[in-house]
Amino acid sequence: MGNIKSAVDLAFGETANIQSFKDEALASKMLEIGCLPGSEVTIVRRAPFGGAYYMKIAGLSFAFREEELKNIIVD
């Protein structure tokens, strides 16, 4: 088993696919907004002063806190 990579580990502009979620509550939230395992995710930018990360998931734009991104497992 290799290293587990989360969405927060992606470089800006890097694209990966969602594999799973570490946290059940976050998994529920992601599924409700239509972000499923297999969806493509790209980190677009980070808000100033350590704020949210802006991402595109399956072509839609979202903002997530760093703690939330740590729970999104990507390939």
**What tens-digit pLDDT sequence spans the chain (75 residues)?**
568 899 999 999 999 999 999 999 989 998 998 889 999 999 999 888 878 999 999 888 999 999 999 999 999
Residue 34 is predicted with a pLDDT of 84
Domains and CATH numbers, the chain: 5-74 (2.30.30.90)
Residue 14 is predicted with a pLDDT of 94
String of b and e for 14-47 (b: at least 16 CB within 10 Å)?
eebebeebeeeebbeebeeeebeeebebbbeeee
The pTM of this model reads 0.85
Residue 43 is predicted with a pLDDT of 93
Rounded to an integer, what distance in angstroms lies between the CA atom of residue 70 and that of residue 75?
13
Token look-up 């470089």 returns 11
